[in-house]
Structure 1
Amino acid sequence: MTSILTNTAAIAALSTLRSISSDMETTQGRISSGYKVETASDNAAYWSIATTMRSDNKALGTVQDALGLGAATTDVAYTALESSIKVVDEIKAKITAASQPGVDKDKVQKEITQLQDQLVSISKSASFSGENWVYHTGSAGAGTQSIVGSFNRDASGNVSLTTLEYDTNNSSLIQVDASGANVSLGGTGLLSSNLTYNTDTGSSASLSVSVLTLDISTMTAGDLSAALKGVDAVLQDMTDAASDVGALNSRIDMQTDFVADLMDSIEKGVGKLVDADMNEESTRLKALQTQQQLGIQALSIANSDSQNVLSLFR
């Protein structure tokens, strides 16, 4: 049936054109934005996952900054320990030299005093962003320091932080009280605590002086021998402390690399969920443009059918 009131063919062609135009709008939006899932209306599940993972990745970026700060702090502490070991090694050599008969111990002590001052200078200077792992005062005592190492989310959606912890009691070189005096008894400072050593019989003995207060000017041969053993014991403890800090620094480096790789993996995963495939979208756009041209042609043909009715009345 031919009707001038209802053009079924034109209605069908127009409906097809609307559908093609909607698809073109979607495709053009993906091409311009680069996303196939840009809003929740595009795909609620993928959008939710992507939004959460982007937030987690941002948190991991902050973790990277924290690891960088931790690495700098441990680097400074390790440098201080390494430099202090060299100075204490020099003090050990001076004590050995002073043990030789005929050596002027007063002159050797002057050299030791300069080395002791250098140890204090190194320890006080080993601070980064207000943290000092080798010099501790009455108001900033040694204790466990935590470095944020990772951001975690479990299967239930609960979040937590992984921390790398280090007890600075192990690396403390100098500890002073509120008045600034060295804590020689019961303190954690390897250089400020009284010297202790193992005797030839295996028992523990101690001296009433520390590395920082050592004065060999009036020491006897026996006193020098005991001081040498005490300084050597401190040197061994400092070496152990430097090894611990170096191991922590190595772990921080590994964790930093892991966090960087993890962020890259998350970013790739999110991209697979929401990024548009430009090759696919460009091909779809060309196809839709062709369909649109054909739809317009079909609508033109359908509209011309109404004109053909006039020929019936000529």
Structure 2
Amino acid sequence: MSSILTNTSAMVALQTLKGINASLTKAQDEIATGKSVASAKDNAAVWAISKVMEADVNGFKAISESLALGESTVAVARQASETVSDLLTDIKGKIVAAQEGNVDREKIQADIVALRDQINSVVNAAQFNGLNLVSGTEDVDILSSLDRKNDGTVSASNITVNRQDLTTSAGVLGTGTDLSANATLSAAAATNTGNTATITLAADADVSADAFEVTIGGATVSFSAGDITGDQDAAASAITNAINALGLVGVEASVASNVITLTSTRAFEDVSVGATKNGGATGVTLSATSIGERAETLTFSDTAAVNDGDGYQVTVGGTAYTYVAGKGETFEDVARGLKAAVDGGTIDGVSTQVAQNSSGQWELKIDNDSATSLSLARAGAADGTASGGLFGLGGIDVTTNAGAEAALGNIETLINNAIDASAAFGSAEGRIETQSDFISKLTDALQTGIGSLIDADMEAASARLQALQVQQQLGTQALSIANQAPQNILSLFR
């Protein structure tokens, strides 16, 4: 049935053309914007996901900048610590040269002072954007990542870079918890007297048929049968004279009747003792097989921990010497720091050494070779200001024999501190570089993922556009034909 009031065909053709035009508009928008999902109305779920990912990409770009800044800062610190290590090695060469007695130690000391000033200059200048990692003890956090969980919460991750203090600051003893119980002194004074051992010869009216052999500090005196005539007292006197004739440094022998007293004033060195009569122990009695070293000890606990700011102090002859531990240090560091402090005090006749005892405890040994006894005391307290990693550098003085000898041991500690700092900065710089590379790749992957979600397939969009244009032309013609259908009804009334 045909009707001049309702043109169904035209209505269908019009709706079809509208649909084609809508699809054509969408295809044109995709080509113009390059996106298949340009707004939330195109695909709300995909659009929301893409926006979250775009926000993460922007965040990671900021993180890349943070990592670049952090890497540069650490690189400056590493270069500085490596330079300091080289300069300390140069100082060691000067100290070794000063061990000879026939050199101009004043000129060598002047060179050491110049190198020390250069180290201070390097440490003070080693900053990037105002941040100096070779001064102070506080750690520095570098933003390294954004971590998004399944529930949508986001948290920041950091790479912590430990400062490596290479200053020469002395530190300040705190007023916190008393830590003196963690250090034990062997005596209240360091005396200048030596330690002794005795050799007692048994009563023997005639020793002419006897052979004697005495060893002390690796040296030996021996008498064959017939070398000594008389009784045990004569034998003791002959042996005493022979021991003194050896000229052993720091070792003397004295005699009273049949008892030989061996005295050692050697610092930090035990002296072995042995004696035989006719090849055996019968007829001689030893009070000890060795003479202990002459030194008092400050022994540190093998169970207590050392925290940042824990300070320890040793007083020698009324003068206090302090070392305050930094982060991550141990009692070995404390002992070596106190050694550097005491050595820097240049007390006449006083020398020091750091060692571990048989129980694994670290000890600071203090020897007194002066004319008088020196009082000793110790103290400890928490919450202090840490000493610098190169503490003791300013106290190096090679103008004297004692100073040159002490400096040789102390410079090794300083070199090791600088090397440890360089290694720590190198590891941190490598980690930051790895993280920076990962963030760059992760950002590219996220951008690729966003593109796969919302970017238009330009080849498909182009082909679809051409097809829709043809459909539009056909739809227009179909609508035109449908609109002409009522005209055919007029022919029925002619």
Partner of 2:454: 274
Q: Which of the pair has more CA radius of gyration?
A: 2
SS of equivalent to 1:156: coil
Partner of 1:139: none
From 207, 210, 213, the equivalent of 2:392 is: 210
Are the aligned partners of 1:85 and 1:235 in contact in 2 as well (CA < 8 Å)?
yes
Are the aligned partners of 2:170 and 2:323 in contact in 1 as well (CA < 8 Å)?
no
From 462, 465, 472, the equivalent of 1:285 is: 465
Partner of 1:298: 478
Are the aligned partners of 1:74 and 1:249 in contact in 2 as well (CA < 8 Å)?
yes
Q: Which has the higher strand share?
A: 2
Q: Distance in 1 between matches of 2:158 and 2:132?
A: 19
**1:65/1:201 CA distance change after superposition, 3 Å:** closer
Higher relative contact order (CA 8 A, sep 6+): 1
Gaps of 5+ in 2: 173-320, 328-332, 341-351, 367-390
Partner of 1:161: 156
Q: CA deviation at 1:176?
A: 4.0
Counterpart of 1:294 in structure 2: which amino acid? L
Q: Distance in 2 between matches of 1:257 and 1:114?
A: 42
**1:22/1:177 CA distance change after superposition, 3 Å:** farther
Are the aligned partners of 1:175 and 1:187 in contact in 2 as well (CA < 8 Å)?
no
Identity of aligned residues (%): 36
Are the aligned partners of 2:116 and 2:394 in contact in 1 as well (CA < 8 Å)?
yes
**1:313/1:178 CA distance change after superposition, 3 Å:** farther
How many residues align? The count is 299
SS of equivalent to 1:5: coil
**1:233/1:83 CA distance change after superposition, 3 Å:** same
Is 1:78 aligned to 2:78, yes or no?
Answer: yes
Q: Distance in 2 between matches of 1:247 and 1:313?
A: 100
Structure-to-structure mapping, 1:29-108, within 5 angstroms = 29-108=29-108
Q: Distance in 2 between matches of 1:213 and 1:58?
A: 53
Q: Which has the higher helix share?
A: 1
Is 1:245 aligned to 2:240, yes or no?
Answer: no
Is 1:110 aligned to 2:110, yes or no?
Answer: yes
Structure-to-structure mapping, 1:121-270, within 5 angstroms = 121-136=121-136, 142-168=137-163, 171-174=164-167, 176=169, 185-186=323-324, 188=326, 196=340, 199=354, 204-205=363-364, 210-217=392-399, 219-220=400-401, 222-270=402-450
Q: CA deviation at 1:200?
A: 7.0
Q: CA deviation at 1:167?
A: 2.4
TM-score by length of 1: 0.89
- Deviation string for 1:224-280 (max 9, x for gaps)? 222111101211121112111100000000000000001111111111111110001
SS of equivalent to 1:285: helix
Greater shift in the superposed pair: 229-238 or 41-50: 229-238
- Aligned-residue CA RMSD (Å): 2.4
Gaps of 5+ in 1: 137-141
Q: CA deviation at 1:201?
A: 7.2
Counterpart of 1:243 in structure 2: which amino acid? A
Q: CA deviation at 1:199?
A: 4.6
